[in-house]
């Protein structure tokens, strides 16, 4: 029996604006798609937060026993800068600036993306498709939408006819807009565009002469519109209707709105059952963004090379900092907040390291079953990592009280306690125990220190003490070897 059968998971659905009981299309299986990065620069911490939020979702779904297919794309083409820019591809633009091949830019930043997410201990998705690898699929969708009369071709570009779509469907269903408002409010902004209406979005863009990334199509050489790739790749790997679609809050409109429209026309169905949106990471009172320069890179945190932080912070402390907030809340990034989080993280890890010091007894005075239940309930309530962590600190308190023998625990309960802590701290939250990783270095330092103290004893001809140090270390499996150059040691 899998855990999902006894745990009622609730997910906040952006589409209904309410928490709903999660029920997958196919029992025991979950299809999840998350909009990935555009690989034209290093991922900043704000990007990382979103991917970490969905990493938490992925991890918890797996913990509940679901078989999860997690698809996250790499946008390596087709990202329109803006309409006035004659559709110059964002990646091509950067490539020209740096005088290198577009795919070289893509490669460089894809590697950076993977390295960064690995450092912060995100699990890799099940499938990570690229936009350039799915040009054919995208062209097929465009043909289909054209054939159904919901798009039109002009000068080698194809646009989705939003107004026509809106006659029978609601364009704006996800973001809570209606097209009429939007017409009134964008009229002044747009100049002469080849689009029929400013609201229309590109499915295919004609490539100008200088444009490097281009593919042949029935409408001439060009490249696909940004919104299309997600529709193509999500439905290709997860089916026409799948369970979860995630992304940053800032993608809700127009990106996700457009995805819904494309799928509704092509497949005549609402593609996604649960829309999840992760909230923004705020720096200096505003969201982190590449375009405004208001951002910090993960590596700048890990090395401490930046003007914002007083010191370096480990990936784990950084991850803990983010996990302390709920994924749907705006989170403020600051030195004080990170410092506080780091201390909390260390407190948690220190407690886990002390688990072995607990002596089990016959009966338990702490209610491990209830506590475990509260941990699951926190996560079942729309992945509330914040409340989960509060419960974990309750567990820290238990550990300390048990060591001080102010509480007691049975062997069976202790095993469950230990398993549950490990499950939530390492498997679900995805934290790593940095303190443990440093342990071997510290052990070396410790033995060096004893060698020094033993030398002092020997210099004082305190043979009793020096022999005691050597013998007791030997019992621990640490052998001291006195040589001409001083004392060395080996650990068995």
Partner RNA sequence: GGCGUUUUGGCCGAGUGGCUAGGCAGAGGUCUGCAAAACCUCGUACAGCGGUUCGAAUCCGCUAGACGCCUCCA
Asked whether 204 and 219 are in contact (CB, 8 A), the reply is yes
Q: Verify binding: residue 347, RNA, rule CB under 7 A.
A: yes
Q: Which single residue is written with the structure tokens 């491990």?
A: 368
Bridge partners for 32 per DSSP: 70, 244
Map the footprint of RNA across residues 294-313, applying CB under 7 A. 295
Q: Which of 203/480 has CB closer to RNA? A: 203
Q: Verify binding: residue 359, RNA, rule CB under 7 A.
A: no
In angstroms, the CA 456 to CA 198 distance is 83
Q: Verify binding: residue 214, RNA, rule CB under 7 A.
A: no
Map the footprint of RNA across residues 409-448, applying CB under 7 A. none
Minimum CB–partner distance for residue 190 and RNA (Å):
8
Q: Which of 167/336 has CB closer to RNA? A: 336
Task: Name the segment binding RNA (CB under 7 A); options: 59-67, 241-249, 264-272, 482-490.
Answer: 241-249
Q: Verify binding: residue 181, RNA, rule CB under 7 A.
A: yes
Task: Name the segment binding RNA (CB under 7 A); options: 1-9, 103-111, 326-334, 480-488.
Answer: 326-334
Q: Which of 88/413 has CB closer to RNA? A: 88
Q: Which of 337/435 has CB closer to RNA? A: 337
Structure tokens at 450: 């004893």
Bridge partners for 244 per DSSP: 32, 274
| DSSP H or E stretch at residue 480 | strand 478-483
Residue of 387, 435, 465, 478 that binds RNA (CB under 7 A): 387
Q: Verify binding: residue 247, RNA, rule CB under 7 A.
A: yes
Task: Name the segment binding RNA (CB under 7 A); options: 158-166, 274-282, 303-311, 418-426.
Answer: 274-282
Minimum CB–partner distance for residue 376 and RNA (Å):
15
| CA nearest neighbour of 348 among 421, 276, 423 | 421
What is the pairing mode between strands 222-224 and 201-206? antiparallel
How many angstroms separate the Cα of 356 from the Cα of each of 249, 351, 360, 431, 472?
Answer: 43, 10, 10, 20, 21
Structure tokens at 276: 């999840």
CB atoms within 10 A of CB 404: 8
Minimum CB–partner distance for residue 146 and RNA (Å):
21
Q: Which of 154/289 has CB closer to RNA? A: 289
Map the footprint of RNA across residues 57-86, applying CB under 7 A. 75, 79-83
Map the footprint of RNA across residues 39-58, applying CB under 7 A. 44, 46-47, 49-50
Residues in the chain: 492
Q: Verify binding: residue 224, RNA, rule CB under 7 A.
A: no
Class of residue 417 by CB neighbours under 10 A (exposed 0-12, middle 13-18, buried 19+) = buried
Q: Which of 20/350 has CB closer to RNA? A: 350
Q: Which single residue is written with the structure tokens 């798009």?
A: 151
Map the footprint of RNA across residues 149-168, applying CB under 7 A. none
Minimum CB–partner distance for residue 311 and RNA (Å):
14
Q: Which of 256/454 has CB closer to RNA? A: 256
Q: Which residues have CB under 8 Å from 478's CB, separation 6+?
A: 447, 489, 490, 491, 492
Map the footprint of RNA across residues 393-412, applying CB under 7 A. 393-394, 396-397, 400-401, 403-404, 406
What is the pairing mode between strands 242-248 and 272-278? parallel
Q: Verify binding: residue 107, RNA, rule CB under 7 A.
A: no
DSSP 250: G
In angstroms, the CA 468 to CA 452 distance is 14
| DSSP H or E stretch at residue 276 | strand 272-278
Task: Name the segment binding RNA (CB under 7 A); options: 146-154, 253-261, 303-311, 475-483.
Answer: 253-261
Minimum CB–partner distance for residue 443 and RNA (Å):
20
Residue of 123, 127, 390, 435 that binds RNA (CB under 7 A): 390
Map the footprint of RNA across residues 275-294, applying CB under 7 A. 278, 280-282, 285-291
CB atoms within 10 A of CB 429: 25
DSSP secondary structure letters along 251-265: GIIIIIHHHHHHHHH
């Amino acid at each position: 029996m899998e855990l999902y059968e006894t745990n009622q998971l609730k997910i906040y659905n952006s589409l209904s604006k309410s928490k709903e009981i999660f029920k997958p299309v196919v029992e025991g299986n979950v299809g999840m798609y998350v909009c990935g990065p555009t690989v034209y620069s290093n991922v900043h911490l704000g990007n990382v937060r979103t991917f970490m939020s969905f990493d938490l979702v992925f991890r918890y779904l797996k913990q509940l026993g679901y078989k999860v297919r997690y698809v996250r794309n790499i946008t390596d083409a087709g990202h329109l800068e803006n309409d006035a820019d004659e559709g110059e591809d964002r990646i091509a633009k950067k490539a020209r600036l740096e005088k290198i091949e577009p795919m070289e830019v893509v490669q460089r930043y894809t590697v950076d993306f993977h390295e960064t997410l690995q450092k912060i201990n995100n699990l890799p998705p099940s499938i990570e498709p690229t936009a350039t690898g799915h040009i054919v699929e995208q062209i097929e969708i465009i043909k289909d939408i054209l054939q159904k009369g919901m798009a039109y071709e002009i000068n080698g570009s194809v646009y989705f006819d939003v107004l026509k779509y809106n006659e029978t469907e609601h364009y704006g269903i996800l973001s809570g807009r209606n097209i009429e408002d939007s017409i009134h409010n964008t009229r002044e902004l747009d100049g002469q565009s080849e689009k029929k209406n400013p609201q229309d979005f590109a499915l295919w863009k004609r490539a100008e002469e200088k444009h490097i990334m281009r593919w042949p199509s029935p409408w001439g050489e060009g490249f696909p519109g940004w919104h299309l790739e997600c529709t193509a790749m999500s439905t290709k790997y997860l089916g026409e209707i799948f369970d979860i679609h995630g992304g940053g809050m800032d993608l809700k409109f127009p990106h996700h709105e457009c995805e819904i429209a494309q799928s509704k026309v092509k497949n005549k169905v609402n593609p996604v059952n649960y829309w999840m949106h992760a909230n923004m990471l705020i720096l200096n009172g505003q969201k982190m963004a590449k375009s405004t320069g208001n951002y910090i890179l993960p590596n700048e945190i890990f090395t401490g090379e930046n003007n914002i932080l007083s010191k370096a912070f480990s990936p784990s402390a950084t991850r803990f900092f983010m996990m302390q907030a709920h994924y749907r809340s705006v989170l403020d990034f600051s030195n004080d907040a990170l410092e506080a989080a780091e201390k909390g993280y260390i407190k948690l890890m220190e407690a886990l390291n002390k688990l072995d010091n607990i002596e089990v007894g016959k009966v338990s005075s702490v209610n491990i079953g209830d506590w475990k239940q509260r941990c699951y309930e926190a996560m079942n309530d729309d992945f509330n990592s914040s409340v989960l962590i509060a419960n974990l600190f309750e567990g820290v308190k238990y550990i300390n009280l048990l060591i001080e023998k102010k509480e007691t625990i049975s062997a069976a309960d202790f095993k469950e306690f230990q398993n549950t802590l490990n499950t939530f701290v390492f498997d679900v939250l995805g934290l790593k125990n940095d303190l443990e990783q440093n342990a071997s270095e510290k052990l070396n330092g410790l033995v060096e220190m004893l060698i020094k103290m033993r030398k002092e004893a020997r210099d004082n001809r305190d043979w009793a003490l020096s022999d005691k140090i050597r013998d007791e270390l030997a019992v621990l499996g640490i052998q001291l070897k006195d040589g001409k150059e001083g004392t060395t040691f080996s650990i068995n």
